[in-house]
C-alpha cells in the first residue's frame, strides 16, 4: 500500500484525488528542502513525511541538511530565541561560525541546489545559503517556522539581508510575518496522523508508559510535552499543578524531547528539576529524539494536555494532543490561538493561576472535558493534518511558478 493510499482511510478519497490533480502540473520538478537537523523538532518531523508524499505525487523531491559544529548550533539557538524577541548577544565569533558554516555547506550542496526548480530553506539556520547561489535557476522560498512577530531588532536587521532576496517566504501565521519585498505566504504546519507519534496505539503500547514511568492509572494525569525551553514555561506548569493539588490528586508529566540543535535545554531541565524537588507525582522525563511512541502514549493517557508557552511558533504539541481527543490548556500566544478556542477545544491562559483554574473546571466537569476533546479531534482532522499541509505546498508552488496572478487556472 502506498503512503497516499494509507491516507485515504484518514482524509477520504476526495482529499487524495485533490492532491493528485494539483500535483499534475508540478510532476517532474526538482524540489529541494533544506534545514539543519533530520531529527528532533517539528520541522524535521514534517519533512520526514512530506518528502516521500511529494515523491509519490511525481515530484522529484529531496531533503538536504546543513551541518555545523557546536558554535554554529549555539549561534542558531540564540537566533531562535532572538527571533522570538529575546535580547541576545550577537557575538562576532558565533556570527562568523554561522556564516562560515553556511558558506561551507553551500559548496557541498551546490550541485543539488543550483539546478533545482524550487528550493525551500527552513528557518534561519540555512538562510544565508541563497547568497552563495548567484547562478541559481529556480525559485527560492524561505520558510520561517518561528514566531518572528516581535524579533530582537538587531538580529532581524542582520538576518533580513539574507532573506530579502528570496522569491517568497512562508510564515505560520500573519502575526509572525515580517515585511519583506516578496509575497509572504501563510501556511500553518501540520501533524502526520500515521506517524508513530500520532497513530492509534495498541493497548499494550499504552500500558507500557504507566509501568515504565510509575504513573498511577487511578488518578488524573496532566501532561506537557515540549522541549525544556523557557518560552514553554515548564516552571509555570509546575506552579499550576501545585495550585490544583489541594483539590485533586493530579499527577504531572513534563516530558521533553531533546533536539540536536538545542544546547540550552540542559540548563532549563536542571532548573525544572530543582523547582519540582522530590515530589513523586511530578514526572520529569528526558526523552530521546526517537521516543515518538512514548510521547503518543503519554498524550493518550493524559486527561488534559498543557502547552503553557509564553511564546510559541505554531505549537504542534497542541495539534498532537487535539488529534488524540484531548482538550488543551495553552498559553495565549502564537499559533496556540489558532487551535485553542475557549470552551470548544480547550482554554487559552495567561498565568499559572489561569491554567489551574481551567484544569479545575475540566476535572470537575468531566462530560465537558470529553466533549471538548472530541471537538478538538474533529477540528484537528479538518485543518491540521499533513494532507492539508501538502495541498497548500502544492498550491504555493503552483502560485510561485505563475508569479503574482491572483487567480491561476490550470
Partner 1 sequence: MGEPFAIKDCALISIATGTRAQDIREFRDRLQTTPPACIYYHFWGGLLRPCFDEPEYQNDFAAWAWHGLRDSTLAERLALIDPTQCTCLEELRRELLDIVEERMDESEWINWVRARTQFYFTHAQIVVFDSGKRIKKPDKLGNSITKMSSGSIFYHFIDARKRTEHSKNDFSEWLSQFGDEYTPLSEHLATVDPYFTTLSDLREELGQIFSEHAPKETTGEKT
Interacting residues with partner 1 between 188 and 227 (CB under 8 A): 188
Give 238 or 376: the residue with its C-beta nearer to partner 1: 376
User: Which range, of 8-16, 32-40, 275-283, 298-306, touches partner 1 by CB under 8 A?
Assistant: 8-16
Query: In the range 143-172, which residues lie near partner 1 by CB under 8 A?
Result: 171
Give the residue carrying C-alpha cell 499534475: 24
Cell of 188: 500553518
Q: Distance of CA 155 to CAs 66, 91, 274, Å?
A: 21, 11, 32
Candidate ranges 82-90, 152-160, 223-231, 335-343; the one touching partner 1 (CB under 8 A): 335-343
Cβ at position 122, least distance to partner 1 in Å: 18
Nearer to partner 1, 63 or 185 (CB): 185
Contacts of partner 1 in 10-39 (CB under 8 A): 13-15, 17-18, 21-22, 24-25
Angle at 396 between CA 189 and CA 313, to 5 degrees: 25
DSSP 257-297: E--TT-TTHHHHHHHHHHHHTT-TTEEEEEE-TT-HHHHHH
Residue 395 binds partner 1 (CB under 8 A): yes
Residue closer to partner 1 (CB basis): 1 or 174: 174
Which of residues 183, 263, 289, 325 is near partner 1 by CB under 8 A?
183
Dig out the grid coordinates for 320 from the structure: 498532537
Cell numbers 557541498 correspond to what residue?
108
Ranges within 67-126 binding partner 1 (CB under 8 A): none
Q: How far is the CB of 130 from partner 1 (least distance, A)?
A: 20
Q: Which of 63, 152, 166, 185 binds partner 1 (CB under 8 A)?
A: 185
Residue 396 near partner 1 by CB under 8 A? yes
Which DSSP string do the residues of 159-209 spell out, in sequence order? HHHHHTTSSEEEESSGGGPPP-SS-EEE----B-TTSTTTS---HHHHHHH
Cα 15 to Cα 74, 382, 387, distances in angstroms: 41, 11, 8
Residue 320 near partner 1 by CB under 8 A? no
Q: Is 391 in the site for partner 1 (CB under 8 A)?
A: yes
* Contact flag: residue 177 with partner 1 (CB under 8 A): yes
Instruction: Tell me the angle at which helices 316-323 and 292-301 cross, rounded to the nearest 10 degrees.
Output: 60
Is residue 179 near partner 1 by the rule CB under 8 A?
yes
Residue whose C-alpha is closest to residue 90's, from 78, 80, 101: 78
End-to-end CA distance of the chain: 30
Min dist. Cβ of residue 75 to partner 1 (A): 28
CB atoms < 10 A from the CB of 409, how many? 5
For residue 338, the minimal CB distance to partner 1 (Å) is: 7
For residue 295, which of 327, 255, 262, 266 has the smallest C-alpha distance?
A: 255
Q: Identify the burial level of 87 via C-beta atoms within 10 angstroms of its C-beta, where 0-12 means exposed, 13-18 middle and 19 or more buried.
A: exposed
Cβ proximity to partner 1: between 191 and 284 the closer is: 191
Q: How far is the CB of 387 from partner 1 (least distance, A)?
A: 12
Q: How many residues bind partner 1 (CB under 8 A)?
A: 45
Nearer to partner 1, 67 or 350 (CB): 350
The DSSP H or E segment spanning 141 is strand 139-144
Cβ 79 to partner 1, closest distance in Å?
22
Told to check if 7 binds partner 1 by CB under 8 A, we report no
Nearest to 229 by CA among 295, 293, 154, 311: 311
Q: Are 272 and 228 in contact (CB under 8 A)?
A: yes
Q: Does 409 bind partner 1 (CB under 8 A)?
A: yes
Q: Which of 79, 120, 162, 384 binds partner 1 (CB under 8 A)?
A: 384
Minimum CB separation from partner 1 for residue 74, in Å? Answer: 31
Tell me the CA distances in angstroms from 169 to 60, 164, 182, one per residue in order.
21, 9, 7
Residues in the site for partner 1, rule: CB under 8 A? Answer: 13-15, 17-18, 21-22, 24-25, 171, 174-175, 177, 179-180, 183-188, 337-338, 341, 344-345, 379, 382-384, 388, 391-392, 394-396, 398-399, 404-410
Amino acid at each position: 500500500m502506498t503512503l497516499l493510499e494509507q491516507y485515504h482511510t484518514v482524509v477520504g478519497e476526495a482529499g487524495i484525488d485533490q492532491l493528485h490533480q494539483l500535483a499534475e502540473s508540478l510532476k517532474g520538478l526538482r524540489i529541494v528542502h533544506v534545514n539543519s537537523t533530520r531529527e528532533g523538532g517539528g520541522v524535521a518531523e514534517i519533512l520526514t513525511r512530506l518528502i516521500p508524499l511529494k515523491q509519490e505525487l511525481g515530484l522529484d523531491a529531496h531533503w538536504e541538511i546543513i551541518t555545523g559544529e557546536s558554535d554554529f548550533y549555539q549561534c542558531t539557538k540564540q537566533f531562535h530565541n532572538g527571533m522570538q524577541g529575546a535580547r541576545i548577544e550577537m557575538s562576532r565569533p558565533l556570527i562568523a561560525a554561522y556564516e562560515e558554516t553556511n558558506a561551507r555547506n553551500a559548496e557541498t550542496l551546490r550541485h543539488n541546489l543550483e539546478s533545482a526548480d524550487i528550493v525551500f530553506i527552513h528557518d534561519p539556520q540555512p538562510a544565508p545559503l541563497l547568497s552563495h547561489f548567484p547562478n541559481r535557476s529556480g525559485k527560492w522560498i524561505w520558510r520561517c517556522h518561528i514566531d518572528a512577530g516581535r524579533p530582537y531588532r538587531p538580529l532581524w536587521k542582520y538576518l533580513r539581508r539574507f532573506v530579502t532576496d528570496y522569491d517568497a517566504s512562508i510564515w505560520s501565521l500573519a502575526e509572525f510575518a515580517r515585511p519583506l519585498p516578496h509575497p509572504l505566504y501563510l501556511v500553518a504546519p501540520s501533524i502526520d496522523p500515521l506517524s508513530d507519534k500520532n497513530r492509534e496505539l495498541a493497548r499494550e503500547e499504552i500500558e507500557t508508559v504507566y509501568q515504565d514511568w510509575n504513573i498511577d492509572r487511578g488518578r488524573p494525569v496532566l501532561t506537557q510535552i515540549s522541549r525544556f525551553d523557557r518560552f514553554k514555561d515548564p516552571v509555570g506548569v509546575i506552579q499550576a499543578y501545585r495550585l490544583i493539588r489541594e483539590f485533586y490528586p493530579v499527577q504531572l508529566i513534563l516530558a521533553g524531547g531533546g533536539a540536536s540543535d538545542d544546547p540550552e535545554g540542559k540548563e532549563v531541565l536542571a532548573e525544572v528539576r530543582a523547582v519540582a524537588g522530590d515530589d513523586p507525582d511530578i514526572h520529569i522525563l528526558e526523552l530521546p529524539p526517537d521516543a515518538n511512541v512514548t510521547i503518543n502514549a503519554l498524550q493518550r493517557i493524559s486527561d488534559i494536555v498543557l502547552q503553557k508557552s509564553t511564546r510559541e511558533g505554531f505549537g504542534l504539541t497542541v495539534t498532537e494532543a487535539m488529534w488524540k481527543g484531548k482538550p488543551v490548556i495553552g498559553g495565549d500566544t502564537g499559533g496556540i490561538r489558532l487551535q485553542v478556542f475557549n470552551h470548544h477545544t480547550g482554554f487559552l491562559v495567561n498565568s499559572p493561576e489561569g491554567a489551574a483554574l481551567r484544569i479545575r473546571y475540566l476535572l470537575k466537569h468531566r462530560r465537558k472535558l470529553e466533549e471538548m476533546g472530541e471537538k478538538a479531534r474533529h477540528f484537528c482532522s479538518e485543518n491540521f493534518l499533513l494532507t492539508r499541509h501538502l495541498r497548500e505546498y502544492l498550491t504555493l508552488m503552483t502560485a510561485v511558478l505563475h508569479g503574482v496572478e491572483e487567480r491561476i487556472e490550470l
